[in-house]
Structure 1
Amino acid sequence: MTSSDDPTPTPQPDRPKYDDRSYRSVAGIVTGVLLIALSLWLGGDAVLRGSGRTPWLTLAGLLAALPLLAAFTIRPAVYAGEERLRIRNPFRTITVPWAAVEHLRAGYSTEVVAGGQRFQLWAIPVSLRARKRVARQTARAATATARQSSLLNAPEVPARAWSDQAVDELRDLAETNAAKPGAQGEVSVRWAYEVIAPIVTGAIVLAVLLAIG
């Protein structure tokens, strides 16, 4: 009689990993690209055709101005994953585990309160004009719906403003994921020295050139 061994347990597949949701201001990125292109065009012309100290002053100014423009327009982003919220602001990157989120709101700006601190979400700007436009569309849609004899033909109610939708999604993610083991921990803040260093260097060089002139 042969003894039957216990079957080897079948390994369970790992839980699928999902990419972070990302939120960025398209208008801010477009504005930044245009401003940087304009600065390079004007600055390049001054460097090539300028005389005396003009090329050096221009180069120092560009060294300080270009990273500054990029920091406030292209750099800002918000990444929301299953375990944490990562906020990339002009000069800092803030990592907030979902369990540490105390409040998310969109007033005149979008912000998260976590670990007793308040952090602004630069990548999700609040547009009061967009809110008013959506409110007008909603009011017109509600009036039209009330006049419809059949609900099947009723127009759709417009969505909320983009910033308000984004904050709603982030709130849902915080509530859904706060209890996960990987979502525990404290808020961490890292300064973006790769952005700050060239700005400070350019400003110092520009000040020295102006002082010795």
Structure 2
Amino acid sequence: MTSPTPPTEPTYADRTFRSPAGLAGGVLLLVLICWIGGDAAFRGHGRAPWMALAGLLTVVPLIVAFTLRPVVFANDRRVRVRNPFRTITLPWTDVADVRAGYSSELFTHDGTKYQLWAVPVSLRQRKKAARQQSRQALDDPYRRTSATADVRDTKARVAVADQAVADLRELSERAGDKPAPDAPVRSVRWAYEVIAPSVVGVVLLVVLGALG
């Protein structure tokens, strides 16, 4: 007689929040820096190739950290914030609020604040969304639906950062105050894979400069 197969644990798909503009800018910067640094490393003379390699070792990890690395993963159990130099994992029961002022921020019940680098606030987008909302209110002061209204344009009148924060706040409220049995504990992990190469590159630049 075969033993029954144990039930599989439910999986909770992550929602991902990140900046498309940051990704595009990071890729362009990496291409430009690698092109300039690679040219200096292969065609330079004397200490120039070593200076170029040390510069690349310093700058490339920083560009990756500030443009490609930031992302927020969230599901019904927890939120994981990957910032340039550290990753913070929190169960929703530890989260008191998520706000977007001049930057997007997450607050815990003990008063700790974590900035969400992956959700940058654009004041230009916010002003544009406010103007669109004002025009809509003037066109329909009694909140009557026009026969020509485009219902697909609802989220276009909200700034991207504000919409992302609203979605995160909705996930937090849905989780409630009762901790789930499989919810993770709060953890903070430093990104040594980013920090170490940059520190080594800076040290090499200082040594090469002193020898110069």
TM-score (normalizing by structure 2): 0.88
Q: Which residue of 2 aligns with 1:194?
A: 193
The residue correspondences of 1:42-191 to structure 2 (distance < 5 A) are: 42-114=36-108, 115-146=110-141, 151-154=146-149, 156=151, 158-178=156-176, 179-182=178-181, 184=183, 186-191=185-190
Indicate the RMSD between aligned Cα atoms, in angstroms: 2.3
Cα distance in 2 for partners of 1:66, 1:105 equals: 31
The amino acid of 1:144's aligned partner reads: D
The CA deviation string for residues 48-90 of structure 1, in whole angstroms up to 9 with x for no partner, is 1111100000000100100001100000000002211000000
The CA deviation string for residues 144-186 of structure 1, in whole angstroms up to 9 with x for no partner, is 2249987433455543111111111111111111324246564
Task: Tell whether the 8 Å contact from 1:76 to 1:88 is kept in structure 2 after alignment.
Answer: yes
Cα distance in 2 for partners of 1:69, 1:79 equals: 21
Cα distance in 2 for partners of 1:116, 1:208 equals: 42
Count of aligned residue pairs for this structure pair: 204
Which segments of 5 or more consecutive residues in structure 1 lack a partner in the other structure?
A: 1-9
- Compute the displacement of 1:18 (Å): 3.2
Which segments of 5 or more consecutive residues in structure 2 lack a partner in the other structure?
A: none
SS at match of 1:173: helix
Percent identity of the aligned residues?
50
Task: Tell whether the 8 Å contact from 2:130 to 2:157 is kept in structure 1 after alignment.
Answer: no
The amino acid of 1:201's aligned partner reads: V
Cα distance in 1 for partners of 2:175, 2:143 equals: 41
Task: Tell whether the 8 Å contact from 2:78 to 2:184 is kept in structure 1 after alignment.
Answer: no
SS at match of 1:152: coil
The CA deviation string for residues 6-44 of structure 1, in whole angstroms up to 9 with x for no partner, is xxxx99975752320000100001000000100011111
Mark the structure with the bigger radius of gyration. 1
**Range that drifts further, 70-79 or 185-194:** 185-194
TM-score (normalizing by structure 1): 0.87
In the superposition, relative to structure 1, how do residues 200 and 12 fare at CA in structure 2: closer, same or farther (>3 Å)? closer
Cα distance in 1 for partners of 2:107, 2:58 equals: 32
The amino acid of 2:63's aligned partner reads: L
Cα distance in 2 for partners of 1:149, 1:78 equals: 37
In the superposition, relative to structure 1, how do residues 105 and 35 fare at CA in structure 2: closer, same or farther (>3 Å)? same
SS at match of 2:147: helix
